[in-house]
Structure 1
């Protein structure tokens, strides 16, 4: 254990409709985490403009994410809920980290390659530097733990690399300033300013896939609304989408080994397990040998039962945008109080003049 007090930071982009993957892979887990350690949950509106600068309705998309946090059970009295752009420390530290990180590191990021596609020369500099901003999001609060999906593991590894390089480059100044803390690094303990953040990756549905293609992640940007269950979908929409979800002609296996090579079956079983708070093995003990015509109605009932209260509360909150804005403003003030101390320390360590 390091000398850093435990703290969680995570965020969701305000782009498109929130869906089941966001809920199972992130938001529902956030609720449990606030009972374990101090948490900050961010709406990352600066990240939203890296791929598309002009957004259709960034303000209301931001409110929608905040409403989902609240509707799922995140308590703004116990956790900090805010939007990223309210806290200038994110951008300030991101620039410093742009100078810490190496171009080669950024070029190896698979998400940049995927999002930029073949026209990499036309991608924004912000998209290339996205992981550096993500590192700043985390380390401006010196967060020790970050819940991430499988697709974000590489970015968190880069965050760790940036923290290690900063700590090493400024090791003597950190030691002289008295601002460092002990960090276990293998068999030795070093003194550093930034923690080496640990990922939190767990659960049967850490990566929820598209209902139309089990090889692709469920996404807000997919042009087909049938590919995802949105958190604002009613029972009728959920039933229609699950019924139309792609499957194969074989019955469900009795063991998880039988899901190999069957991505759509594996995805639906994983979704059921996550919603029920159980395991794939347990789901297959219950439904193994049955056809999807029997399994899908059970999945619909479970999804409607699980998501219905969240959907209703989200709609109620979105009818009162003033309340959501007040939560974000208060959270921004709390977040800024932490971030401003980090920026002050970092400037001192680097040797920048400040007031």
Structure 2
């Protein structure tokens, strides 16, 4: 069976963009693949200015709770916390000795996130893609669902795995491919609809969190940026705000955009925005109800994460042992 790996950072509340752009597909992939899903807390500490050590444990638990609430099934999938397996950090060091400084320096995300920060940029941020390669390759993932902004990292993971296999004469690692599920929606910021909805760059008004209450969701959609015209049509260039709302409504109702345009054109932006808000509120209602149920018993969440880590270890430990043997490290005596 195809194995899928994907991870998400516990860097803030999970939002509509996370859900429609990734998590819906995480849930759907469980029907066709052996899925490994990870809360990547080690990635969350790579930017010192954004890292709040006091809240990270709870945010990690919250992220896992939301993943379970949206439908990640811990019996069908492996769900765990990255730092609970030291194999990720160990494998990263092996890959650091295979990856090239030049290829890491060219990574678009590093260039973007380090711009203007000078000496304050952490080595962890620079090395982020190598840790990501370890995350993926430890589990022999065949497919990694990602957005366009992560494709370079998956290509690097392939290159590192291929280089390691070739250099040390052992096919230790499976070479993954990036996939972009056709159902994945690209949800944009409600206030700046030419930018992606993002935990790190969106304002509070521009981002709809999965756990926002109905009144808050309604208020955010009512204040969503559109344009000075009144027609409702899909055009990402001329009408980015309206087009974003159409995509969200389409995803929330499972209806085609042309049908929605036919229904709402001529009704005015107020009515249209209200319909989008109502559809999103209904879509997230069962998630919020399930989340409340799960959050009432954090001990059970921790038990499920330990169960997931134990299952992840069954795959990661022999993979790392084989890699260490291939590279020539002396194993400890038993």
Query: Given the two structures, how large is their TM-score scaled by the length of structure 1?
Result: 0.88
Q: Report the alpha carbon displacement of residue 112 of structure 1 after superposing the two structures with TM.
A: 1.2
For the residues of structure 2 that align with 1:208 and 1:127, how far apart are their CA atoms?
25
CA distance in 2, matches of 1:202, 1:261: 26
Q: Using the TM superposition, name which of 262-271 and 11-20 deviates more.
A: 262-271
RMSD, aligned α-carbons: 1.7
**Alpha-carbon distance in 2 for matches of 1:107, 1:206:** 30
Which is further off, 199-208 or 319-328?
A: 199-208
Is residue 25–residue 183 contact of structure 2 (8 Å, CA) maintained in 1?
Answer: no
Tell me, yes or no, if the aligned pair for 1:250 and 1:291 is still in contact at 8 Å: no
In structure 2, the gaps of 5 or more residues are none
Instruction: Decide whether the 8 Å contact of 1:252 with 1:287 is kept in 2.
Output: no
1:288-303 alignment, distance < 5 Å:
288-303=265-280
Give the secondary-structure state (helix, strand or coil) at the position aligned to 1:146: strand
Tell me if 1:262 matches 2:260: no
Scaled by the length of structure 2, what TM-score is found?
A: 0.93
Q: Is 2:147–2:180's contact at 8 Å kept on the other side of the alignment? A: yes
* Cα deviation, residue 205, structure 1: 4.8
Pairwise CA distance, 1:164: 2.1
| Match 2:199 to one of 196, 215, 220 | 220
* Within-5 A mapping of 1:312-351: 312-351=289-328
* Consecutive unaligned residues in structure 1, runs of 5 or more: 175-179, 181-192
Q: Look up the SS of the partner of 1:129 in the other structure.
A: helix
Task: Indicate the residue corresponding to 1:74 in structure 2.
Answer: 72
Higher mean alpha-carbon deviation, 16-25 vs 259-268, is at: 259-268
1:149 and 1:206 in contact (8 A); partners too: no
2:30 counterpart of 1:51: no
Residue in 2 aligned with 1:20? 16
Q: How much does 1:280 deviate?
A: 3.2
Matched pairs, number: 330
Question: Is 1:251–2:230 an aligned residue pair?
Answer: yes
Counterparts in 2 of 1:125 and 1:272: CA distance versus 1, 3 Å: same
Output the CA distance in 2 between the equivalents of 1:143 and 1:304: 35
1:156–1:285 CA distance, 2 compared to 1 (3 A): farther
Q: CA deviation at 1:69?
A: 1.1
Quickly say closer, same or farther: Cα 1:221–1:78, change in 2 above 3 A.
same
Aligned-partner SS, 1:92: helix
Q: Is the 8 A contact 1:30 1:74 kept in 2?
A: yes
1:123 & 1:338 partners in 2: Cα distance?
33
Cα deviation for residue 218 of structure 1 reads 1.0
Provide the residue aligned with 1:85 in structure 2. 83
Cα distance, 1:278–1:350 mapped onto 2, change above 3 Å: farther
**CA deviation vs aligned residue, 1:295-342 (integer Å, no higher than 9, x gap):** 111111110110011012112222211111111111001001100010
Measured in 2, the distance between the counterparts of 1:55 and 1:154 equals 29
Q: 1:252 to 1:93 in 2, by over 3 A?
A: farther
Q: Which secondary structure does the structure 2 equivalent of 1:74 belong to? A: coil
After superposition, the Cα gap between the structure-2 partners of 1:277 and 1:316, relative to the gap in structure 1 and judged at 3 Å, is: same
Q: How far 1:58 sits from its partner (Å)?
A: 1.1
Q: Is the 1:204–1:270 contact (alpha carbons within 8 Å) kept by the matching residues of 2?
A: no
Q: 1:276 to 1:329 in 2, by over 3 A?
A: same
**Range with greater deviation from structure 2 (158-167 or 298-307):** 158-167
Task: Give every structure 1 segment of 4 or more consecutive aligned residues whose post-TM-superposition deviation is greater than 6 Å.
Answer: none
Q: Separation in 2 of the partners of 1:37 and 1:224?
A: 36
